[in-house]
Structure 1
Amino acid sequence: MKLYQKFAVAAATAALGFSVMESALADSFTTTLTLEETVGNPPFDSVVMMWSTSVEQGLIRDEDLDEWRYELRNGAQVIYAETVISGGVVQPIGGAERGFAAFEFDLDSLTLDLFDNDPPVRQEDAAKGVTYSIAYTPIWDGKILIIKFVNGFFSARDIEMLPFDAKTTRNN
């Protein structure tokens, strides 16, 4: 092995070690949004978001997330699960590239400011199977918007806008 190849291998190994160490230092959180009523078909009563970041204080945005996934649950039963961000990269939804996601959380007050798993609604007309659009912004007066898509389409009965209670816990 030539000297420049040894340097390249050493640099790649160091970068990999740094990446693993950086993700190991990430704090993980669970934010549970308990809906005021059970809705949907199949029915669910909560949205549970699991997310992690290496940022230690202040406002966390989607670009600060290492991971973000969520589940729609009915009690302990998982009705639907989706990975929005993995390894810091926004993931497709139902096979459709979503482009970006929106997430803001105040670590200092443990307050969820806003989120949207698919702001451009790329799943409409493009996704395969069952997918959900979930979103919250303070202008909606404490309500979460949930839309169920089936093969990229939805009907009026698949739209819910409900009040919720939020609780966030630090997992580590």
Structure 2
Amino acid sequence: MSCTDTLFDEMEVYYRTLDERPDIGWFLQGHIVVEYMLRKRLVDITGSASKKLEKSGFYKVLLEAEKHDVVNKDQKNVLEKINGIRNRYAHELDYTPQLSEWLDIWRSAKAAFCDMTDGIEQGLAELESVDKLEDADRFHLNELFVQICHDLLPNEA
């Protein structure tokens, strides 16, 4: 196989990712917003941004958030699952999540987070109504991150 053939194969994976993967964009956006919210809450609690955390990845920020009671153990577990999918997207360009993986996340999230507007419930119902992940309505699935971010807001006394 020539270098050109190898490059062509790699570019095919890239183009398949762009053309056939609408799930990547909203999922990564949701992950980014959750990480932002965790960092913001840690700054609110500690009074300043930790130099150590500025360069840290999601997992270390999540550990710090659990340490400062921003998230509880069940919420941390859900966010670890979300981060696992994000990592697979980042490191396996041809990764396609399975419906069972997302069902696991939504079911775990339903038990761990408040579902103020029933967004997690609606997303779970959407996932349970389809046979293939690509048939699910993205709007309902995106609500998972909205509900998680609601729980990351500071409690007002």
Q: Which has the higher strand share?
A: 1
Q: Which has the higher helix share?
A: 2
Q: TM-score, normalised by structure 2?
A: 0.29
Q: TM-score, normalised by structure 1?
A: 0.27
Q: Which structure would you say has the larger Rg?
A: 1
